Chains A and B, each alone.
Chain A
Amino acid sequence: MIRSITQKKPEKEIERLLKGLNRIFIIGCGTCVTLTRTGGDPEVRAMKEELSTKGKMVTGQTVVPVACDNLTREFLGDFGEQINQADALLIMTCAFGVQSIARQLSRMVIPALDTLFIGKETAVGLFDEICTQCGTCIIGETGGICPVTNCHKGLVNGPCGGTNHGKCEIDVNKDCVWTLIYNRLMELGRIDSMRKYQKPRNHLGEPKPGKFKLPEA
């Protein structure tokens, strides 16, 4: 399943963002951030404690089922009073949730998390980025593994000179995707596809900001 991977912002940054805002309503989410333990019920409770010890008044808190869903407005309707009393909403969801809530409630929103990437749980407690939604998919030639996403430099013609023991030059915990692609293509007997020169990538897949309208049926 696609997951939005988040990490809590540094304490100092949250303090700065909440400066002068004394009454806070905290919102978590029951999906991705619960899984990544960044905005589920325990984290929302801990945030309430943290804010209280810093002299903030928490007017209320909740964990919405799916923050990025359009039904979030209705769910939050039950907290109207507590939300109205707050100077700001501190939102412990990914940026999709923060922006959905901001659009729906027209209230000052403060994200408590940074959204790192849209990823996949590849082992228990381990999340990997596998697609950057570039709009010009090339994985038909790379054994179904995306180098645009998984090579630190997004290289499409093979590894750079920084590859080391199958790991990336920036982090020994990150695989060199070109070792993975090489192994996969060897397994499949399709290594010729790695020998093929790939021209500079087309970055015009969908110019930012992405927008897509279904054609009339």
Chain B
Amino acid sequence: MPTKFKEALESGKFVVTSEVAPPKGTNLEKFKHHIELLKDKVDAMNVTDHQSSVMRYPSLGGAMMVKEMGGEVILQMTCRDRNRLALQADLLFASSRGIQNVLCLTGDSVMLGDHKEAKSVFDMDSSQLLKTVRTMETGKDLGGNELDGGVSFCAGAIVTPEADPLEPQLIKFEKKLEAGAEFIQTQAVYDLDKFKEFMDYARQFHVKILAGIILLTSAPMARFMNKNIAGVFVPQDLIDEMASAPKGQALAKGIEITGRMIKRIHEEKMCDGVHIMAIGKEEKVPDIMEAAGLI
């Protein structure tokens, strides 16, 4: 049976997903609050997997919580911390608990996080994890052994439309599609004309594409991303617009800009939907959706 998220993708509606990050610790109150706030507004919520290699409550546990609270969840899985045994085991577990949307990621370097001396795994990469999902759906594991009880997933991956150089990234993107990605969430895009160029290329493939949108919270934050986040380029005019906000109004300006971008993507039917990342400001997602005219 297709997941609710898969149904939304297939329905032709403008799909909206967002993200919730599990806490560092066992206090789940804020996490639950974010789920509660978003579960009836977005089509699905991603639960991040030790985002930026910072150790947190696990994505599987977080995904179960979304499920228990009646939300539709996309389990993010990276290959950074688990080898092929552990990843397959977690896929079995997820499927058995009705967590059946999965975003397959390679994962950031351990060195970027808060346990820099840890051993990184990377036994597989994102395309191999996608292929693993599809293999397991045939009733076999990666060792060719029969599974007693199978799995079923709506599996996706990511792409960086503004990667430099772009061509190797697109080769990888096509590999992910061949490996079985049904949907793609992009790295954050800000230059929508450039994004349209990417979509002109991507439309030739049978895959649903959700444009990644990161909420701008201040001009320095935009400059920080330009300097430090691979493949994210906030154009100068947007940085200037953020800087022009009166004191204390930067976040409101960011919400306005983000809403405006989503509105344009929607109105011009650039792609199949958006994936809103309001890192640390999850409670603002409904405001962004309102600014975009989606609710």
Contacts and interface: CB of A to CB of B under 8 A. Distances in A.
Contacts of A195: 171, 174-175
B128 interface: yes
Interface string A180-195: 0110000000010011
A157 interface: yes
Contacts of B69: none
Contacts of A159: 163, 168-169, 172
Contact of A161 (B120, B158, B165, B179): B158
Interface in A144-180: 152-166, 169-170, 178-179
B112 A170 contact: yes
A166 B127 contact: no
A161 B230 contact: yes
B128 A199 contact: yes
B84 interface: yes
A157 B230 contact: no
Interface string B164-193: 110111011011001100000001000000
Q: Which of B131, B160, B172, B174 has the most chain A CB atoms closer than 10 A to its own CB?
A: B172
Contact of B168 (A179, A197, A198): A179
Contact of B106 (A155, A170, A191): A155
Contacts of A166: 164-165
Interface in B115-166: 120, 122-128, 131-132, 142, 158-160, 163-165
Interface string B87-119: 000000000000000000011110110000000
Contacts of A153: 106-107, 109, 120, 122, 125
A163 B120 contact: no
- Interface band, chain A: 20 to 34
Nearest to B124: A200
A203 interface: yes
B254 interface: no
A197 B169 contact: no
A169 to B, nearest CB: 6
Nearest to B84: A200
Contacts of B164: 164-166
Contacts, number: 90
Contact of A163 (B107, B112, B128, B168): B168
Contacts of A161: 106, 158-160, 163, 169, 187, 230-231
- Interface band, chain B: 35 or more
A166 B159 CA distance: 16
A169 B168 contact: no
B179 A155 contact: no
Given A166-B165, A170-B109, A182-B165, A158 B172 contact: yes
Task: Identify whether the interface residues of A are mostly helix, strand, loop, or mixed.
Answer: loop
B261 to A, nearest CB: 20
Contacts of B123: 200-201, 203
Contacts of A199: 128, 131
Given A169-B109, A182-B165, A194 B125 contact: no
A180 to B, nearest CB: 10
B45 to A, nearest CB: 21
Interface string B229-268: 0110000000000000000000000000000000000000
Contacts of A182: 165, 167-168, 171
A164 B111 contact: no
A170 B122 CA distance: 15
A162 B131 contact: no
Contact of B111 (A155, A157, A170, A203): A170
Interface of B: 84, 106-109, 111-112, 120, 122-128, 131-132, 142, 158-160, 163-165, 167-169, 171-172, 174-175, 178-179, 187, 230-231
19 contacts: A153-B106, A153-B109, A153-B125, A154-B122, A157-B127, A157-B175, A159-B169, A161-B163, A161-B187, A162-B108, A162-B230, A163-B230, A164-B164, A164-B230, A182-B167, A195-B171, A198-B128, A200-B123, A203-B123
Given A153-B122, A166-B164, 14 more contacts: A158-B168, A158-B171, A162-B108, A166-B165, A169-B108, A170-B109, A181-B168, A194-B171, A197-B127, A197-B175, A197-B178, A200-B123, A200-B132, A201-B123
Interface of A: 152-166, 169-170, 178-179, 181-182, 191, 194-195, 197-201, 203
- By Cβ-Cβ distance, the 4 closest A-B pairs, closest first, are A158-B172, A164-B230, A153-B122, A182-B168
